[in-house]
Amino acid sequence: MTGGFTAPQIDWAQLAPIIIVLGAGVVGVLVEAFVPRGVRRNVQLALTLLASAGALIAVAALWSGVRETGGTSVVGGSILLDGPALVIQGVVAALTLIALLVVADRTETGESAFAPAAAAVPGSDYEQLARRAGLEQTEVFPLIMFAAGGMMIFPAAGDLLTMFVALEVLSLPLYLLSGLARRRRLLSQEAAMKYFLLGAFASAFFLFGVGLLYGFAGSVRLDAIAEATTTVVGLDPLMLAGVAMLLVGLLFKIGAVPFHSWTPDVYQGAPTPITGFMAACTKAAAFGALLRVVYVVVPSIVWDLRPALWAVVILTMAVGTLVALVQTDVKRILAYSAIAHTGFILTGVVALTSSGITSVLFYVLAYGAASIGIFAIVTLVREVGPDGVVLGEATHLSQWTGLGRSNPWLAVTFSLFLLSFAGIPLTAGFIAKFTAFSAAVEGGATPLAIAGAVASAIAVFFYVRIIVLMFFTDAPRAGDRTGAEVTVVKSEGLTTVAIALTALLTVLLGVFPSPVLDLMAQAAKFIP
């Protein structure tokens, strides 16, 4: 029997990072089915940590080949393994490895951040029974592996269908993980539902854009679409509408205005370890995919899209910065901070220069490390009930008053991450913002760099406000404080390790950024 289909020759070694992570997710599902409950958590933790470390080693092993050849296409061009894709895969693997430490950690009483039975109705007798029985949702670990696998494919996709599949593979586990918080169950489930509904809406835009671009170019491959855009005389409505809808889906995943409304609710309602994981890894993967679309598909029509992109950048910086000023919940402040940082990173994207690619790659690493660290600290600051029982996280700003005196090292580390977000010199955030704004100036987007500098200056206020509360404001008397007393809980130590690693990374990238910047500059070239 003859036919027109030719099976592609697959270089499996080039797919090693993706295979390791997704393979660990599949094995994790089997662990849930066959491994006894008593040892299941330890097996899952060891499996996911080894897989993340293995993926990072595989990325390092592939680096020299990609640097010499400029990249290679795999699976018939569906996967493009070039410098930016490999760097994003390495960033995702490294940040996932650190985030898993926070996810797996438990308090000294053995309490994790996740509900004992996700399917139980909040407050029901079954939920109370599951909690007393000490049940754990160890399915969290394979879900994180599947999400990380999708994040590794997303920026390396060579065609729009592969990109869409990767988008769904990374998104669906996150929808589930967002609803698994142990405390504030209804808020967590509300966050998961909002994330799912808005995510499905954005995915529909993305898929509609794929259909329009296929109708325009006769192909879903990025190189074919890019070639077709160069032959168009004037404006082609099909092309312009397709690219615009494609960008809507991508801008939703990075949390850019006006597609940001899910961010504060999901950041606040999701389990805090998952919030840190999403803030770091999802943003890195989504910016990798956005870079590929903007630098490979869009360049020939950039002047048509430039006003809209500039408006998105300015609005994202403005909304994220200004709305954060009036927030009183720490997680919501960090959510709007994330929106503002999305605008800062976008200045590097719209620069359309190789230095713009370098700045984005460095920024997602610097921001991701600080995000995991700062949310890890939030997991340790807890309310204490009248009877001395440790409750949920103390996220109201008033509850952080005086924390610098009772727990100076924790408060100092938290301040370090805040100063990095603010872009203070000798932190990774300063170098990240400097490279992004410099790339914007080089690419002719000086107004965006000026807007970013102004927004950064305004943002310093709400970062410094938290530092002042922790160190320079007297803690109110017990009867004056809104809410319960506050304590810093002791844990198994995994969160402390994650905080130390991310703090070290934040300082090293701020003091000695040159080796990493040089590495990323070498990687700042896409396969055409």
The pLDDT assigned to 283 comes to 93
> What is d(CA 171, CA 167) in angstroms, rounded to the nearest whole number?
6
Distance CA 387, CA 204 (A): 50
pLDDT in tens, 162-171: 999 999 999 9
Instruction: Locate 265 and state its tokens.
Output: 């609710």
Looking at residue 477, its pLDDT comes to 55
Place of tokens 């040159």: 514
Among 44-58, 92-106, 289-303, 492-506, which stretch is predicted with the lowest mean pLDDT? 289-303
pLDDT greater than 90 at residue 132: no
Residue 110 banded pLDDT, cuts 50, 70, 90: confident
Q: In whole angstroms, give the CA distance from residue 278 to residue 180.
A: 14
The predicted model gives 446-466 an average pLDDT of 93
Residue 488 pairs in a beta bridge with: 381
| DSSP structural state of residue 110 | -
Residue-level pLDDT at 136: 78
Q: For 290-300, what is the mean pLDDT?
A: 87
At residue 1, the pLDDT reads 46
Instruction: Kindly report, residue by residue over 177-223, the tens digit of the pLDDT.
Output: 998 888 888 888 999 999 999 999 999 999 999 999 999 888 899 98
Kindly state the average pLDDT of the residues 438-444: 92
Structure tokens at 243: 């690219």
Question: Per-residue pLDDT for 316 more than 90?
Answer: yes
Read off φ and ψ for residue 515, nearest 5 degrees. -60, -40
Q: Are 368 and 95 in contact (CB under 8 A)?
A: yes
Give percent helix, percent strand, percent coil of the chain, each to the nearest 5: 70, 5, 25
* pLDDT recorded at residue 3: 60
pLDDT at 481: 46
Q: Domain extents for the chain? A: 12-523
Q: Is 80 helix (H, G, I), strand (E, B) or coil?
A: strand
Q: What is the mean pLDDT of residues 315-335?
A: 93
What is the per-residue pLDDT across 71-84, written as a single tens digit (0 to 9) for each? 788 888 889 888 89
Share of the chain above pLDDT 90, in %: 60
Mean pLDDT of all residues belonging to the chain: 89
**Predicted TM-score of the model (pTM):** 0.94
